[in-house]
């Protein structure tokens, strides 16, 4: 009956309305009353051994099985009293205390308590108690005690037998228990086990009762009361558990909803769902199927049951609130059959945050993909342990695949690596350690379309095994086939240049040796002929030959010098004083200035240290001779050395015709002659100057004479 009663309290959870359940409970209570009256009228209460404890006594009373006991004591409870005693079955603590007080009154005891046995070590916890007016409430040696500290009581209780220790001071058999009990109990203690479903879950104690007889003489009222008490305690426990369970369900973070599959009506919802979806529980229960479907989807649809069986998970569903807002949910559905009815339980989880996170993640992924695409980079992530490879579409494309058709493992890639490079690449990958987690390799692959491509693969190990070897690698790949082709072309071009340089050097040698010698011979023989020839016409011809031969020799000499400097990459330097070098040059060219009645003005003094090669004298000589060549007689040439920060600026200024701004940028080019006007020259002098300046990491330039007519040529050289 009790089981039926308990079951009735569960009815609201399986779809029976609370009112109906209450009715059933009342009927059951009524049945229990009738049953108890029946027992009292017959004066013989008979309790089954499994549900009612057997009374046994120690010391003064002998252990006896009360089920066999026949007594002529009357049962003192009338129907109204029984009904009032049964009221605690609604699960209230006050009702339990009421029964305890009834026991107190019946037995005339000082204290009456209910203990629950907790844990595997069986600790007694006092759950409810009643004390006679004036008795000490706090005294309780049993509370929070290990039951093994009371072996006599515990062994009886454990074997579902009651204990009556009538004269506690003389009860020698239970000496170990009594030592402790004597501090609180004056003369007697009754302990009655409480049994539920065959297991002892606690016990009732009655301390210092005024009972005069033995338990077997007046047990029925006590047994009756203790049984009612047991029922009340069990029910209270059940209701506590149930309310805890209901509380947990209501406060669950998830939305919980139960629907009758046949009627499409809501049977129950938890508070979280009501709060979030803005419909009250009553509104949910009364909701028409169409609105329900619109609100939470049609998760109870039979089609799901057909395809998914008794469970299914929908990770991309949504609920609609009363005000029309959509809440994304992940919904877990269970179809349940019970008593020929079909119920559907749905537990849904709000995944708004997850969706937002997914969106951010997706956006980030898109951005990374865009960046990778922009940089034309393939991306890959390799789990070395499982050989699983994750990659983007560009990586697959590089290897001649559609993203979906490239096998997602590294083995396939290794097979594509060119035979000559395979071993090297594999050993680089195998050698990656925590201490040097990055790598960069260029290698050839043969794509799916049999195309040969060069890839530049960069990567970094992000996870390692216990030995410090890479267990996960992530990186990028770039198709560098075009770059490799350009490099090849450049290399070929460099080889060509190298060869043409060699040709130039050969030509220079030819110029210097093979052309200069015959020109020298012509010069010698012409001079001889001029000495012996008196015919004016012939002499004039010989003089023209001599002039042109001089020009040719000058040309060969300068061209050879220029070609040599052009093919030279560097010069040897030593620290010299530019002032001394300049003075030497002007001194050596003094006959030239004198022949043109020109004046040389040196406008510097002091020391000008610079790391130079003596070839720099060529520069000074060129500037100086040009100044003489392209100026008028009786003018002056000024030589200056200016301090220009980290450089010395050596300048030769003349008072000649000067150079137009349009021509200035070109005078340092090869064979560029602005004004020849019969002036001897090759057009190579300033080109040689520029090259010498380059070899000294210096600069050259031309500007107008700041003090008047003419021009100023300068070279800057590093200070030392």
Helix (H) or strand (E) holding 658: none
| Best CA proximity match to 254, nearest among 354, 334, 349 | 349
**Per-residue tokens: 100:** 């305890």
CB of 584 to ligand ADP, least distance (A): 20
Query: DSSP string covering 444-482, please?
Result: EEE-TTS-EEEEEEEEEEEEE-TTSBEEEEEEEEEE-HH
| Best CA proximity match to 658, nearest among 681, 635, 641 | 635
Nearer to ligand ADP, 369 or 699 (CB): 699
The residues binding ligand ADP (CB under 6 A) are 622, 626-627, 630, 654, 656-657, 659, 667, 672-675, 681-686, 711
Nearer to ligand ADP, 127 or 673 (CB): 673
**Per-residue tokens: 222:** 């006590």
Q: What is residue 66's DSSP assignment? A: G
Q: Which residue has the tokens 């329900």?
A: 292
Nearer to ligand ADP, 476 or 711 (CB): 711
How many alpha carbons lie under 13 Å from residue 633 in its C-beta half-sphere? 4
Nearer to ligand ADP, 462 or 675 (CB): 675
Nearer to ligand ADP, 104 or 685 (CB): 685
CB of 376 to ligand ADP, least distance (A): 49
Cβ-contact 140, 147 below 8 angstroms? no
The Cβ of residue 695 has, within 10 Å, a number of other Cβ atoms equal to 18
Nearer to ligand ADP, 672 or 718 (CB): 672
CB of 658 to ligand ADP, least distance (A): 6
**Per-residue tokens: 323:** 């005000």
Across 354-391, b (16+ Cβ under 10 Å) vs e yields ebeeeeeeeeeeeeeeeebeeeebbbbebebeeeebeb
Nearer to ligand ADP, 259 or 559 (CB): 559
CB of 514 to ligand ADP, least distance (A): 23
Cβ-contact 700, 689 below 8 angstroms? yes
How far apart, in whole angstroms, are the C-alpha atoms of residue 701 and residue 711? 11
Nearer to ligand ADP, 350 or 704 (CB): 704
CB of 603 to ligand ADP, least distance (A): 17
CB of 620 to ligand ADP, least distance (A): 13
Cβ-contact 45, 68 below 8 angstroms? no
Q: By three-state DSSP, how is residue 216 classified?
A: coil
CB of 635 to ligand ADP, least distance (A): 11
Counting every residue, how long is the chain? 720
| Best CA proximity match to 119, nearest among 89, 141, 138, 146 | 146
Task: Give the gyration radius of the chain's Cα atoms.
Answer: 58
Nearer to ligand ADP, 473 or 582 (CB): 582
CB of 547 to ligand ADP, least distance (A): 16
How far apart, in whole angstroms, are the C-alpha atoms of residue 458 and residue 281? 60
Nearer to ligand ADP, 102 or 593 (CB): 593
CB of 710 to ligand ADP, least distance (A): 7
Residues 6+ apart with CB under 8 A from 586: 600, 602, 620, 624, 639
How far apart, in whole angstroms, are the C-alpha atoms of residue 705 and residue 720? 28
Query: DSSP string covering 74-101, please?
Result: PP---HHHHHHHHGGGGT-HHHHHHHHH
CB of 706 to ligand ADP, least distance (A): 15
CB of 649 to ligand ADP, least distance (A): 17
> Alpha-carbon dihedral of residues 619, 621, 626, 629, nearest 10 degrees?
-170
CB of 617 to ligand ADP, least distance (A): 15
Nearer to ligand ADP, 279 or 620 (CB): 620
Write out the E strands in 598-671: 599-602, 609-612, 636-644, 647-653
CB of 578 to ligand ADP, least distance (A): 20
CB of 715 to ligand ADP, least distance (A): 13
CB of 678 to ligand ADP, least distance (A): 11
Nearer to ligand ADP, 476 or 653 (CB): 653
Across 520-540, b (16+ Cβ under 10 Å) vs e yields eebbeebeeeeeeeeeeeeee
Nearer to ligand ADP, 295 or 625 (CB): 625
What is the Cα 361 distance to its own chain's centre? 11
Nearer to ligand ADP, 335 or 713 (CB): 713
The Cβ of residue 287 has, within 10 Å, a number of other Cβ atoms equal to 20
How far apart, in whole angstroms, are the C-alpha atoms of residue 684 and residue 691? 11
Nearer to ligand ADP, 124 or 652 (CB): 652
Which backbone phi and psi does 147 adopt, to 5 degrees?
-65, -20
| Best CA proximity match to 610, nearest among 582, 635, 588 | 582
Q: Which residue is nearest to ligand ADP (CB)?
A: 681
């Amino acid at each position: 009956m009790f089981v039926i009663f308990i079951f009735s309290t569960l009815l609201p959870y399986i779809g029976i309305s609370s009112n109906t359940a209450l009715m059933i409970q009342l009927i059951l209570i009524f049945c229990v009353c009738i049953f108890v009256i029946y027992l009292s009228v017959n004066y013989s209460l008979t309790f089954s051994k499994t549900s009612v404890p057997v009374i046994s006594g120690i010391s003064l009373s002998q252990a006896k099985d009360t089920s066999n006991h026949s007594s002529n004591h009357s049962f003192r409870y009338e129907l109204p009293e029984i009904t009032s005693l049964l009221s605690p079955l609604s699960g209230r603590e006050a009702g339990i205390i009421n029964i305890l007080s009834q026991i107190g009154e019946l037995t005339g005891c000082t204290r009456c308590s209910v203990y629950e046995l907790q844990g595997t070590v069986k600790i007694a916890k006092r759950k409810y108690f009643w004390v006679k007016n004036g008795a000490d409430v706090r005294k309780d040696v049993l509370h929070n005690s290990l039951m093994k500290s009371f072996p006599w009581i515990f062994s009886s209780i454990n074997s579902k037998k009651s204990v009556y220790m009538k004269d506690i001071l003389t009860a020698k058999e239970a000496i170990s228990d009594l030592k402790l009990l004597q501090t609180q109990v004056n003369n007697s203690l009754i302990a009655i086990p409480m049994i539920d479903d065959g297991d002892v879950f606690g016990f009732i104690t009655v301390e210092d009762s005024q009972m005069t007889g033995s338990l077997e003489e007046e047990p029925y009222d006590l047994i009756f009361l203790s049984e009612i008490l047991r029922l009340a305690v069990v029910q209270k426990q059940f209701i506590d558990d149930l309310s805890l369970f209901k509380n947990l369900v209501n406060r669950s973070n998830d939305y919980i909803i139960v629907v009758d599959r046949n009627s499409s009506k809501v049977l129950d919802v938890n508070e979280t769902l009501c709060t979030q979806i803005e419909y009250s529980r009553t509104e949910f229960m009364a909701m028409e199927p169409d609105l329900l479907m619109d609100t939470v989807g049609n998760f109870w649809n039979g089609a799901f049951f057909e395809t998914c069986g008794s469970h299914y998970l929908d990770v991309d569903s949504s609920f609609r609130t009363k005000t029309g807002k959509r809440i994304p949910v992940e919904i877990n559905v269970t179809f349940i059959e019970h008593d020929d009815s079909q119920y559907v339980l749905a537990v849904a989880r709000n995944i708004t945050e997850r969706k937002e996170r997914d969106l951010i993640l997706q956006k980030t992924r898109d951005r990374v993909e865009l960046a990778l695409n922009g940089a034309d980079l393939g991306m890959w992530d390799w789990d070395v342990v499982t050989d699983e490879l994750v990659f983007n579409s560009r990586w697959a494309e590089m290897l001649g695949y559609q993203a979906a058709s490239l096998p997602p493992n590294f083995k396939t890639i290794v097979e594509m690596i060119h035979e000559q490079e395979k071993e090297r690449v594999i050993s680089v990958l195998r050698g990656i350690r925590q201490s040097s987690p990055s790598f960069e390799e260029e290698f050839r692959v043969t794509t799916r379309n049999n195309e040969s491509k060069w890839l530049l693969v960069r990567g970094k190990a992000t996870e390692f095994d216990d030995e410090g070897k890479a267990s996960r690698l992530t990186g990028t790949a770039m198709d560098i086939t075009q770059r490799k082709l350009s490099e090849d072309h450049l290399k070929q071009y460099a080889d060509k240049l190298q060869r043409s340089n060699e040709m130039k050097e050969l030509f220079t040698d030819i110029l210097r040796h093979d052309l200069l010698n015959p020109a020298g011979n012509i010069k010698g023989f012409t001079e001889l002929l001029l000495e012996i020839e008196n015919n004016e016409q012939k002499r004039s011809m010989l003089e023209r030959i001599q002039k042109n031969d001089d020009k040719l020799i000058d040309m060969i000499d300068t061209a050879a010098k220029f070609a040599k400097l052009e093919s030279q990459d560097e010069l040897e330097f030593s620290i010299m004083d530019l002032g001394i070098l300049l003075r030497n040059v002007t001194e050596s060219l003094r006959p030239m200035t004198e022949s043109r009645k020109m004046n040389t003005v040196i406008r510097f003094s002091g020391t000008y240290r610079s790391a130079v090669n003596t070839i720099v004298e060529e520069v000074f000589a060129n500037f100086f001779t040009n100044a003489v060549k392209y100026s008028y007689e009786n003018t002056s040439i000024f030589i200056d050395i200016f301090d220009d920060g980290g450089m010395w600026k050596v300048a030769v200024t003349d008072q000649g015709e000067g150079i137009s701004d349009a021509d200035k940028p070109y005078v340092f080019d090869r064979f560029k002659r602005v004004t020849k006007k019969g002036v001897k020259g090759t057009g190579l002098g300033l080109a040689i100057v520029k090259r010498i300046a380059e070899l000294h990491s210096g600069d050259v330039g031309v500007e107008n004479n700041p003090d008047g007519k003419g021009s100023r040529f300068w070279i800057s050289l590093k200070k030392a």
